[in-house]
Amino acid sequence: MILLKAMILGFSVSAPVGPIGILCIQRTLARGRAAGWFTGLGAVTANLIYAGAAAYGFSAAAGFLLQYELYLKLFGTGFLLYLGVKTYRKKPAAEAAKLQGDTLVRMYTSTFLLMISNPSTILNFAAMFSGLGFGGGPETATVLVIGVFTGALLWWTLLSFGVHALRRRVNPLLPFINKAAGILICVLGALSFFS
């Protein structure tokens, strides 16, 4: 039962479409299913680290990250603004299914860095775990982390595969989508800094 609750938690934490979701959608439309999936995998990895830290009670790590929260937020916001401008200026590829330019590793790494630059995530997981009554020893913590990982991975897989399935209908709109996605990423990046 704890595993299922943790999976639902991982899914629901990932599901709101914020800057990373928009980036995943844009990359899936422009570069294919693998690009979207690796973008989501970067987010899942960062959530896995923070969920593990919260579940295993790494309070020292939380304190350290929160001590440098302003610098991490500045880095994350700057990186989002850079990605937003880059996305806005991007011209749709003639063959969207081919990965050109950025590699899958770079897509994964950029998303991971964006997600890991938000240290308050560890507090969110700790609050969610305690709010849902998760407690116990290392075995319970391991189940929690596996559940969050599985639920989050499920969301990003569904999003990238779903968007890819609708891609042919959306491809003619790709220039507009790139511009809208770029603006939204910049706006959400700025809002996340002030939240």
Task: Give 128-138 pLDDT, tens digit per residue.
Answer: 666 555 666 67
Q: Which domain holds residue 35?
A: 2-11+18-194
Per-residue pLDDT tens digits for 27-73 = 998 888 999 999 999 999 998 988 888 787 755 555 666 677 777 67
CA-derived radius of gyration, the chain: 17
What is the domain count for the chain?
Answer: 1
pTM (whole model) above 0.75: no
Beta strands in the chain (DSSP E): none
* Beta carbons of 192 and 121 less than 8 angstroms apart: no
Query: Predicted confidence band at 97 (pLDDT cuts at 50, 70, 90)?
Result: very low
Q: Is the pLDDT of residue 98 over 60?
A: no
Residue 100 pLDDT level (bands cut at 50, 70, 90):
very low
